[in-house]
Chain A
């Protein structure tokens, strides 16, 4: 699995309240959630995001509430992957559970700039900044989580009998 896109860059501690404000939580419609994604931190995000784009952020991305609406809104807005120096725990597991690829890589998170073009290979964890030519390697997923991702999310990985 690979991704290529333009980077939208944010700082540390981007919380789920700004990823999708609570005032929109009276719906679970993916389209409606996407229409308000990042609204309280970046009014231009929804206007400028293109399919495949990549979010790059600092530490503790997705902190705050457990709302799965946050990774859903990001995925539904077309974003192909999130790279951050670290993720909040619940956001991390939610993203894996719904199949939004996320990568932890401090150096990439620091050096990649807003608007850069980036290539990501999820199988190897390689991140390449096509704008600067620099490459980075993210932490690979442990096998247990690879299994969930390979099967297309948590619910597809459990057997119903």
Chain B
């Protein structure tokens, strides 16, 4: 019996000819990641156990993204602790304010992760790099500390669900709609302890930004990782980024899968996940008239330049509805600069949106857009748990950038196809808020 793509990468990194689902292995790591929230805990552990060096100064990435630019004194102290650690141990990939980006957008962009890699990060959305054909997964701070010391981590080899994509998606359909649709079908624990392996002829219609969004939310289905085959889209993306030859693994033809899920991309409608689970999905057509107070366009899920372009194409020449705060956050400095150069920043500001420096900020209710009691946000982020973006009685509706931008314009969850030239709902007239 053959191996899945994930199993092949794990076998290679464990130095084994083959691995089986359920097997416990120790694998070599190509990169160990931490951020300003999880690294301090790892550093405490690192120091407590008496370690005096890291396994490889070039294979650790520390990204100050969650509460930065420092939102308060405690956050400043956490960053200071990580900064000192990075200095003391000569960590090459330390990303501070001005150079940073949201970790999962930054690492692929900087070519720090690539096809065939085995990566752990003390952040659950580390699974994002599966889009590049890497095995990457979220772990805790203790795993991060051990990884920084030994360059290894223990894994239980996952079995897999195969997701076969067919057809060509419609105009406003992006990676977010694909993954929300999938989570809506299989549930937030539908892929628990397993890999999601994406395949099928529909892949050619999904660019790297879409794939990164999809892999990013594999964890929201409970998966250990999500992974895409390495194809022309991957090779194109890696050109000029990855300073080394990509290592390509393919699933064996006779690999075993627990189940197969088919998604016809051409049949998808924009999807919204209602509070308080990413699996609580409805299509925009079933959403009804849900008034929103805030629209957030950003995060490691949908803060890439492609996402900002979609949002700008809708906001151009239109205004954010009165009473709605629209917050646009490019995920990295490079994306920020591109958005400025392409004129997107101007479009956002003219529409009445906020255009922020890269940060996780509102995604985890940190800063830059925390919700009050009873408020609702539509957001391109990845979690809508109770209290995720602020008050326990606030609500988050997850959607792609097209729905988030269209909703910012009307003040209701809105189908991007249904807004008129000035932003009125074509079928409902201009919305008026008291």
Contact = CB atoms under 8 A, between A and B. Distances in A.
Contacts of A21: 365, 387
B385 A64 contact: yes
A158 to B, nearest CB: 6
Interface in A1-45: 13, 15, 17-18, 21-23, 25-28, 40-41
A64 B192 CA distance: 12
B142 A41 contact: no
B147 to A, nearest CB: 10
A15 B146 contact: no
A60 B192 contact: yes
B387 A17 contact: yes
B364 A22 contact: yes
A41 B386 CA distance: 8
B385 A66 contact: no
A94 B122 CA distance: 10
Interface in B349-404: 364-366, 383, 385-388, 392
B30 interface: no
A89 B383 contact: no
Interface string B116-140: 0000011110100000000000111
A156 B88 CA distance: 23
A22 B390 CA distance: 9
Contacts of B189: 13, 59-60, 63, 86, 88
Contacts of B253: none
B223 to A, nearest CB: 8
Interface string B235-279: 000000000000000000000000000000000000000000100
A65 B386 CA distance: 13
A155 B49 contact: yes
Nearest to A148: B154
B141 A26 contact: no
Nearest to A70: B140
Interface string A80-103: 000000101110011001100000
- Interface size class, chain B: 35 or more
Contacts, number: 130
Contact of A63 (B44, B149, B188): B188
Interface centre among A26, A88, A145 (most CB of B within 10 A): A26
B222 interface: yes
Contacts of B387: 17-18, 21, 40
A93 B385 contact: no
B143 interface: yes
A133 interface: no
B143 A93 contact: yes
B55 to A, nearest CB: 11
Nearest to A72: B41
B38 interface: yes
B392 A97 contact: no
A160 B50 contact: yes
A67 interface: yes
A69 B41 contact: yes
B166 interface: no
A6 B48 CA distance: 33
A144 B25 CA distance: 9
A156 to B, nearest CB: 7
A26 B392 CA distance: 18
A27 B365 CA distance: 15
B383 A64 contact: yes
A142 B24 contact: yes
A66 B140 contact: yes
A88 B117 CA distance: 24
A86 B188 CA distance: 12
Nearest to A43: B392
Contacts of A41: 386
Q: Which 5 A-B pairs have the closest CB atoms?
A: A94-B140, A26-B74, A97-B142, A68-B140, A66-B124
Given A65-B364, A88-B222, A160-B149, 20 more contacts: A13-B277, A15-B385, A17-B364, A18-B387, A21-B365, A21-B387, A22-B365, A25-B364, A28-B41, A40-B387, A64-B124, A65-B124, A66-B38, A66-B122, A88-B189, A89-B224, A94-B141, A154-B146, A158-B49, A160-B49
Interface of B: 24, 37-38, 40-41, 44-45, 48-51, 66-67, 71-72, 74-75, 78, 121-124, 126, 138-143, 145-146, 149-150, 154, 188-189, 192-193, 219, 222, 224, 277, 364-366, 383, 385-388, 392
28 contacts: A15-B385, A17-B385, A17-B388, A18-B386, A21-B365, A21-B387, A22-B364, A26-B74, A26-B78, A27-B74, A40-B386, A59-B189, A66-B126, A67-B38, A68-B41, A68-B141, A86-B192, A88-B222, A90-B139, A93-B139, A94-B141, A98-B140, A148-B154, A154-B143, A155-B142, A155-B145, A155-B146, A160-B49
